[in-house]
Amino acid sequence: MSQLIQHLRQNLPETQVITDDLRRLAYGTDASFYRLIPQVIAVVESENDVKTVLTAAKANNTPITFRAAGTSLSGQAISDGILALIGEGFADYALNADASQVTVGPGIVGGEVNRRLAPHGKKIGPDPASINACKIGGIAANNASGMCCGTAQNSYRTLAGLRVVLADGTLLDSEDPTSRAAFAHSHGALLDELAQMGRATRANAALAERIRHKFKIKNTTGYSLNALIDYEDPFDILTHLMIGSEGTLGFISRITYQTVVEDPCKASALVFFPDIRTACEAVIALKPQPVSAVELLDRPALHSVENKPGLPPIIRQLGEEAAALLIEVRASSSDGIADKIAAVHAAMAGIATVEPMVFSTDPATCDMYWKVRKGTFPAVGAMRRTGTTVLIEDIAFHIENLADATLDLQALLRHHGYHEAIIFGHALEGNLHFVITQDFGDSSEVDRYARFMDDVCHLVVDKYDGSLKAEHGTGRNMAPFVELEWGREAASLMRRIKQLFDPAGLLNPGVIINDNPHAHLENLKPMPAAEDIVDRCIECGFCEPLCPSHRLTLSPRQRIVSVRELARRAAAGEAAGSIGEDYAYMGLDTCAGCGLCSTACPVGIDTGDLTRRLRGRRLGDTARAVNAWTGEHFGTLANASRLGLSVGHAVSGVLGDNFLARISGGAWKKNMPHAGKAPAARTTQGDPVVYFPTCGGRIFGPSQSGDPQLGDVILELLTRAGYAPILPEGFDQLCCGQMLASKGMAEEAEGMSNTLEAALMKASQNGKYPVIMDASTCSASMQKHLAGKLKLYDFHEFAHDALLPRLLISKQAGPVALHINCSVRKNGADGKLRALLQACADEVIEPAGVTCCGFAGDRGFVVPELNQHALRKIHDDLPANCACGVSTNRTCEIGLTAETGIDYQSVAYLLEECSRPQPTC
Ligand SMILES: Cc1cc2nc3c(=O)[nH]c(=O)nc-3n(C[C@H](O)[C@H](O)[C@H](O)COP(=O)(O)OP(=O)(O)OC[C@H]3O[C@@H](n4cnc5c(N)ncnc54)[C@H](O)[C@@H]3O)c2cc1C
Ligand code: SF4
Ligand code: SF4
């Protein structure tokens, strides 16, 4: 063990020091096309941890890179030394009394901050497109921005205070006078030097003007030199230099932002122009107008999305020179919106458009426009040749140059053979993104990229004096070009700043300041073909916040990264090594297969599909035979399971739940349900409806022995609402097959689904009657299998649509906890479930920070740590007086009950209780 690792192990909890090959590779990867593998990963949960890691780095002369969410695109979040991974200990959030300022830790996701600010009509200024995945640390350290924030509302402009740990371990809290005084005492020389640098820069008229000119447009190339001319107080200079410093000057441990207003009313127009030049004329006309965003799309960008549903048909008939602007206005009222639309129309008068400009205030239409705009980058990523990387570049021009610069850029792309390239961007800010696909596995292709980048840099800098990185940060990608863009004087100022804060050069070396002219062409990430279902992955990390196993073992992105490496090794004839061994547990066993990753993935990948495929391949003949037997003899298995539960309860009655949990390796849960029972058919009058009681509810009964069985509750509800329920013939022997599908036995699962389909068809008289199932995961699986052949509802959907209107409800007093199962989320049926709950309960609590419960059918019994990890945040939001929980899947409810001690049951129980006929006097 190296001294470095020994040092870290002695000073940090064991789980925070990660050295295995699999996680060093997987956690080490970010969204850029560069690859470095850290020697060790240290998870930092507090400022003390950060100091410990800085001390270890210094003692062992090892570089250190801080990592928030790893969505960076320029190679600034990777390391071959220590990767300091920011943990949940840094997810603080505090809002001041009038919601004008929010103080947040570097480990909280930007979108989560905005969700909490939304009820106050506020948001944070910076708005990168990655905001639902990236974290405050990265947003601040990259000075990230997006479609609306421009240069006025980025982290630099909305910064109100900062806590920072410097390379020598000193902590400065700019909002605390005591901390400032102590810092002035201990680091007076540093402050003097900053103050002096500021004075000299302001006195140097040419340099000061150059800095002003460069920051008129978005710029994240190099350091925030504007701090030297905007501020005189060295504390202000220091805190503003930290913004955009990409982890090369210190660790931001807390930041206070001025919040900005989030206007509730919005309108958008997608306007087509005959050519780029006319579109850019419109941008110049719109710049002084009250518009919140203007996005430019060139013709290839429009081609990449023109078949998306809902777009005007004209988009497919536009000429090859055409371009579009997506314009958005926002206001606090609909009158305000009307005024702003009128102003836009007036400003655009006389500018040729392909069709008249029409604004929509319909949220669905506006949403669709913005989704389409955001879909352009992934669309190229999804269509790229396997083995190639999708690259997104990020440059900015002064808007008077935008038309010429865009045309020059299009010509340059064609000249270098990037015919698939698209251009889009935040036009008001002159910020263009262009997307290309690049093969880095071939040296001639790397040379082509090198020649192209040289030409781009000269075009942007020499011809237009623009920014080489507008919002994504310099990273390794633009580090060799910082001096080209800024000139020698400004570049040497940047070197002085780096030397001042990090004399040993250990903080993220190679990023921003890099003397190697080829740094942007080295350490390129391999992108081998692995499995067709994940080859389109662009490693953006958008899927991570939703994944229940993220940070327990692997996230979806990390699973794909690992599988790619295994594929690379296999193709190169190298052994899979410990990566292959560890993947069995970290990649396969602890994936819940929930598919929530697919809901955030810009290219639509469900990593659960990968897991199921690989689980299937790993199954030996014996396991396959046992599972196949299970499918064929499902009734026998169900009976055996019920018997097991009865015996379990008998034993726990004598020896206790804890004993059983211990000897079953966690599989026996506290409050384990009693054995279930299949419901008995009823003969009633009413509208026919087929009810299939799924095996979860048939095997696992209620947690309280006196409570009725789920099937009986649903039959009672249906009858009460005037339906005549029909149970499919032999239903107790049937199962949808989901259980086998999750184990990778797609064919066997299909067989079970087919048998169930036949039974449902017969019972429903070939779809004449609606069918309901009582477990969301099974309903979703059968809905997919049946592909519309009959009308199949998940119970809560039927209850919302067809039972509520027929029942008289008396709301339950007291809070009810709601867990929305992953299938309900994926199907977008969560709205109906919420509405059902609102109808039945006075107070509904939906704990934030919980996505999939991680129980995943049988995973909760096999790897209980997945369930515990997935629900680790549930306790934060559950009030002490909450005694009742509701969900829509029996096995999820078992895990939720075990973790919270609250009795979670199907929503059917609550509905039944609330709709009981009241005694009449
Ligand atoms: C598909 C896609 C779209 C994107 N769109 C945008 C966009 O519209 N606008 C935009 O600006 N960016 C965009 N990005 C880039 C990136 O998502 C953002 O810049 C984001 O803010 C990075 O945050 P992160 O949490 O992922 O940080 P990371 O990638 O983890 O880190 C970013 C940098 O910050 C440093 N760092 C992290 N935490 C700290 C800390 N506490 N103290 C000091 N240094 C720290 C790291 O060392 C690194 O240099 C996009 C990325 C992708 C993949
Ligand atoms: S699976 Fe999708 S969301 Fe996740 S990293 Fe890959 S492309 Fe991004
Ligand atoms: S299927 Fe669920 S558990 Fe598996 S990678 Fe996707 S989000 Fe994570």
Q: What is the 3-state secondary structure (H, E, C) of 657-696?
A: HHHHHHHCCCCCCCCCCCECCCCCCCCCCCEEEEEECCHH
74 CB near ligand 3 (under 6 Å):
no
Q: How far is the CA of 556 from the centre of ligand 3 (A)?
A: 6
- What are the phi and psi torsion angles at 532 (to 5°)? -55, -35
Q: Which ligand is nearest to the CA of 608?
A: 3
Average pLDDT for the chain: 93
Q: Which ligand is nearest to the CA of 247?
A: 1
CA distance 630 to 652: 27
Amino acid at site 778:
C
596 CB near ligand 3 (under 6 Å):
yes
Q: What is the pLDDT at residue 446?
A: 95
Q: Which band of pLDDT confidence, cut at 50, 70 and 90, is reported for residue 658?
A: low
Spatial CB neighbours of 284, under 8 Å, sequence gap ≥ 6: 399, 400, 402
679 CB near ligand 3 (under 6 Å):
no
605 CB near ligand 2 (under 6 Å):
yes
CA distance 171 to 178: 12
Q: How far is the CA of 134 from the centre of ligand 1 (A)?
A: 6
Q: What is the pLDDT at residue 372?
A: 83
612 CB near ligand 2 (under 6 Å):
no
Q: What is the pLDDT at residue 646?
A: 63
Q: Which atom of ligand 2 is nearest to the CA of 542?
A: 3
Spatial CB neighbours of 124, under 8 Å, sequence gap ≥ 6: 102, 110, 113, 114, 117, 139, 158, 257, 259, 260
Q: What is the pLDDT at residue 655?
A: 58
DSSP state for residue 507 in the 8-state scheme: B
Q: What is the pLDDT at residue 643?
A: 60
Q: Which atom of ligand 1 is nearest to the CA of 602?
A: 1
Burial class of residue 288 (count of CB atoms within 10 Å of its CB; 0-12, 13-18, 19+)? exposed
Q: Render pLDDT for 447-463 as a digit per residue (tens, 0 to 9).
A: 999 999 999 999 999 99
CA distance 161 to 147: 24
Residue nearest atom 5 in ligand 2 by C-alpha distance: 539
Q: How far is the CA of 92 from the centre of ligand 2 (A)?
A: 26
DSSP one-letter string for 543-565: TGGG-TTTTTS--HHHHHHHHHH
Residue nearest atom 22 in ligand 1 by C-alpha distance: 138
CA distance 82 to 920: 73
Q: Render pLDDT for 62-73 as a digit per residue (tens, 0 to 9).
A: 999 999 999 999
Burial 658-669 (b: 16+ CB within 10 A, else e): eebbeeeebbbb
Q: What is the pLDDT at residue 447?
A: 96
Q: What is the pLDDT at residue 659?
A: 58
Percent of the chain residues topping a pLDDT of 90 = 83
Q: Render pLDDT for 113-148 as a digit per residue (tens, 0 to 9).
A: 999 999 999 999 999 999 999 999 999 999 999 999
Does the pLDDT value for residue 438 go beyond 60?
Answer: yes
Does the pLDDT value for residue 154 go beyond 70?
Answer: yes
For the segment 298-326, the average pLDDT, to the nearest whole number, is 90
For the segment 462-470, the average pLDDT, to the nearest whole number, is 96
556 CB near ligand 3 (under 6 Å):
yes
Residue nearest atom 2 in ligand 2 by C-alpha distance: 601
Burial class of residue 855 (count of CB atoms within 10 Å of its CB; 0-12, 13-18, 19+)? buried
**Which residue shows structure tokens 């990090």?**
502
Does the pLDDT value for residue 319 go beyond 60?
Answer: yes
542 CB near ligand 2 (under 6 Å):
yes
Q: Which ligand is nearest to the CA of 556?
A: 3
Residue nearest atom 3 in ligand 2 by C-alpha distance: 601
549 CB near ligand 3 (under 6 Å):
yes
607 CB near ligand 3 (under 6 Å):
yes
Which of 380, 533, 538 has the most ligand 2 atoms within 8 A of CB, as the residue to mutate?
538
Q: Which residue has the higher pLDDT, 313 or 358?
A: 358
Q: What is the pLDDT at residue 518?
A: 97
Q: Which band of pLDDT confidence, cut at 50, 70 and 90, is reported for residue 770?
A: very high
Residue nearest atom 7 in ligand 2 by C-alpha distance: 537
The candidate with the shortest Cα–Cα distance to 347, out of 401, 410, 418, 271, is: 271
Beta bridge partners of 123: 260
545 CB near ligand 3 (under 6 Å):
no
Q: What is the pLDDT at residue 637?
A: 61
Residue nearest atom 32 in ligand 1 by C-alpha distance: 138
For the segment 706-717, the average pLDDT, to the nearest whole number, is 94
CA distance 110 to 68: 11
In sign, the C-alpha dihedral spanning 42, 44, 47, 48 is negative
CB atoms within 10 A of CB 373: 22
Q: Render pLDDT for 208-258 as a digit per residue (tens, 0 to 9).
A: 999 999 999 999 999 999 999 999 999 999 999 999 999 999 999 999 999
Q: What is the pLDDT at residue 857?
A: 85
Q: Which band of pLDDT confidence, cut at 50, 70 and 90, is reported for residue 307?
A: confident
601 CB near ligand 3 (under 6 Å):
no
Does the pLDDT value for residue 786 go beyond 60?
Answer: yes
- What are the phi and psi torsion angles at 426 (to 5°)? -85, 90
CA distance 129 to 374: 8
For the segment 517-546, the average pLDDT, to the nearest whole number, is 96
Rg (CA), the chain: 30
Q: Which atom of ligand 2 is nearest to the CA of 541?
A: 5
* pTM across the whole model: 0.93
344 CB near ligand 2 (under 6 Å):
no
Q: Which atom of ligand 1 is nearest to the CA of 220?
A: 11
Beta bridge partners of 163: 173, 254
Q: Which residue has the higher pLDDT, 393 or 310?
A: 393
836 CB near ligand 3 (under 6 Å):
no
Q: Render pLDDT for 351-364 as a digit per residue (tens, 0 to 9).
A: 999 999 999 999 99
Q: How far is the CA of 141 from the centre of ligand 1 (A)?
A: 7
Residue nearest atom 44 in ligand 1 by C-alpha distance: 247
> Please, are residues 135 and 86 in contact by the beta-carbon 8 Å criterion?
yes
Q: How far is the CA of 586 from the centre of ligand 3 (A)?
A: 12
Q: Render pLDDT for 8-49 as a digit per residue (tens, 0 to 9).
A: 999 999 999 999 999 999 999 999 999 999 999 999 999 999
Q: How far is the CA of 754 from the centre of ligand 3 (A)?
A: 26
Which residues contact ligand 1 via a Cβ below 6 A?
30-31, 65-73, 76-77, 86, 106, 128-130, 134-135, 137-139, 141-142, 144-146, 246-247, 251-252, 377, 471-473, 508, 540
Q: How far is the CA of 131 from the centre of ligand 1 (A)?
A: 9
Q: Which residue has the higher pLDDT, 372 or 541?
A: 541
From the centroid of its chain, how far is CA 203? 46
If DSSP codes are grouped into helix, strand and coil, which group holds residue 475? coil
Q: Which ligand is nearest to the CA of 592?
A: 3
For the segment 461-468, the average pLDDT, to the nearest whole number, is 96
509 CB near ligand 2 (under 6 Å):
no
Q: Which band of pLDDT confidence, cut at 50, 70 and 90, is reported for residue 625?
A: low
CA distance 122 to 661: 47
Q: Which atom of ligand 3 is nearest to the CA of 559?
A: 5
Percent of the chain residues topping a pLDDT of 70 = 94
Amino acid at site 483:
E
Helix (H) or strand (E) holding 66: strand 64-67
Q: How far is the CA of 378 from the centre of ligand 2 (A)?
A: 10
Q: How far is the CA of 128 from the centre of ligand 1 (A)?
A: 9
Q: How far is the CA of 271 from the centre of ligand 2 (A)?
A: 31
From the centroid of its chain, how far is CA 894? 27
Q: Which band of pLDDT confidence, cut at 50, 70 and 90, is reported for residue 168?
A: very high
Q: What is the pLDDT at residue 757?
A: 96
Nearest 5°: the CA angle 807, 808, 813 is 120
Q: What is the pLDDT at residue 682?
A: 80
> Please, are residues 423 and 433 in contact by the beta-carbon 8 Å criterion?
yes
CA distance 684 to 718: 10
